[in-house]
């Protein structure tokens, strides 16, 4: 059921990948973090860590628990590897929202002019680029929820099947035919999605946190001389 929904709708949610004890242990490690280099961003409204599993290697085995590794094998296959990891903490005071978008940029090790690779960016000494469509269509995202998440604290809103329409500009959304769905995810559960799925999130209104570990996986090599910035094998 979940596999079919992921393929056809572009997303699915699965509860109980992590026990309450495992979530508490993850939070315990996160609460002790002190480093604030360029991969750490902390404001009144957001705490984020890019290259999360590289910056906090002691948490990797807890994040990639047996349930998650089995899910990766069952849903994606043994040849998939990690290509991006980010930690988000949207605190109770957060009043910002994210408008509808597709995740079109991937993190790479350097900038090299190659056909099909466009919209280069550099943020905090990290390179991003929009790769060819076949690369984006192959990526899967897993969002690990450390808190109960619903429409009141920024759960994702998605447009089902939008991942099948290639590059889908938000300004062209036809709301006469499209319908958004709010993806509630319980603490310890995960949301699986494809990055071409149009998604957004609202402001927090219930004074509850939303902490998420965002992981991306692929089994594709990029163009010659370009490598994934965080490529890491998953021992399944």
Strands (E), 64-203: 81-90, 98-101, 106-108, 118-123, 126-130, 140-145, 156-158, 181-182, 190-193, 199-201
Listing DSSP states for 180-208 in one string gives -EE--B-TT-EEEE-TTS-EEE----SS-
User: How much is the mean pLDDT over the chain?
Assistant: 92
Phi and psi at residue 212, to the nearest 5° = -135, 135
Q: What's the pLDDT tens digit per position in 174-187?
A: 999 999 999 999 99
Rounded-to-integer distance, Cα 116 and Cα 209, Å: 39
* C-beta separation of 178 from 161 below 8 A: no
**Domain assignments of the chain as residue spans, ordered by start:** 2-233
Instruction: Give the model's pLDDT for residue 204.
Output: 81
200 band by pLDDT with thresholds 50, 70 and 90: very high
Instruction: Give the model's pLDDT for residue 35.
Output: 64
Query: Nearest to residue 17, comparing CAs of 2, 32, 28?
Result: 2
Instruction: Give the model's pLDDT for residue 43.
Output: 67
Q: What's the pLDDT tens digit per position in 105-160?
A: 999 999 999 999 999 999 877 899 999 999 999 999 999 999 999 998 889 999 99
Whether domain 2-233 has CATH 3.30.365.10: no
Ordered alpha helix ranges (H), 116-220: 133-136
* C-beta separation of 104 from 32 below 8 A: no
For residue 231, give the H/E element and its range. none
- Residues paired with residue 127 on neighbouring β-strands, in sequence order: 108, 122
* C-beta separation of 56 from 33 below 8 A: yes
189-215 average pLDDT score: 92
Q: What's the pLDDT tens digit per position in 1-57?
A: 889 999 999 999 999 999 999 999 999 999 888 666 677 777 666 678 999 999 999
Instruction: Give the model's pLDDT for residue 109.
Output: 95
Instruction: Give the model's pLDDT for residue 211.
Output: 94
Query: Nearest to residue 230, comparing CAs of 115, 159, 126, 102?
Result: 126
pTM of the prediction? 0.94
* C-beta separation of 202 from 157 below 8 A: yes
70-98 average pLDDT score: 88
96-112 average pLDDT score: 93
Residue 190 burial (CB < 10 Å; 0-12/13-18/19+)?
A: buried
Residue 180 burial (CB < 10 Å; 0-12/13-18/19+)?
A: middle
Both tokens of 100, joined, read: 């509808």
- The pLDDT > 70 percentage for the chain reads 94
């Amino acid at each position: 059921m979940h596999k079919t929904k992921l393929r056809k709708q572009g997303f699915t949610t699965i509860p109980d990948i992590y026990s309450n004890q495992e979530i508490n242990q993850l939070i315990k490690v996160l609460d002790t973090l002190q480093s604030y280099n360029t991969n750490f961003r902390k404001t009144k409204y957001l705490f984020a860590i890019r290259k999360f599993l590289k910056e906090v290697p002691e948490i990797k085995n807890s994040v990639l628990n047996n349930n998650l590794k089995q899910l990766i094998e069952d849903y994606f296959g043994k040849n998939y590897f990690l290509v991006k990891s980010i930690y988000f903490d949207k605190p109770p005071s957060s009043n910002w929202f994210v408008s509808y978008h597709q995740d079109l940029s991937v993190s790479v090790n350097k900038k090299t002019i190659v056909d099909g690779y466009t919209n280069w960016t550099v943020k905090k000494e990290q390179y991003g680029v929009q790769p060819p469509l076949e690369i984006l269509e192959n990526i899967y995202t897993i969002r690990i929820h450390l808190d109960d998440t619903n429409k009141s604290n920024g759960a994702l809103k998605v447009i089902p099947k939008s991942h099948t329409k290639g590059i889908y500009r938000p300004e062209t959304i036809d709301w006469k035919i499209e319908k958004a769905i709010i993806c509630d995810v319980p603490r310890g559960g995960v949301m699986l999605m494809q990055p071409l799925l149009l998604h957004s999130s609202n402001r927090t209104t219930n004074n509850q946190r939303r902490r998420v570990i965002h992981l991306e996986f692929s089994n594709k090599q990029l163009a010659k001389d370009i490598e994934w910035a965080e490529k890491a094998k998953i021992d399944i």
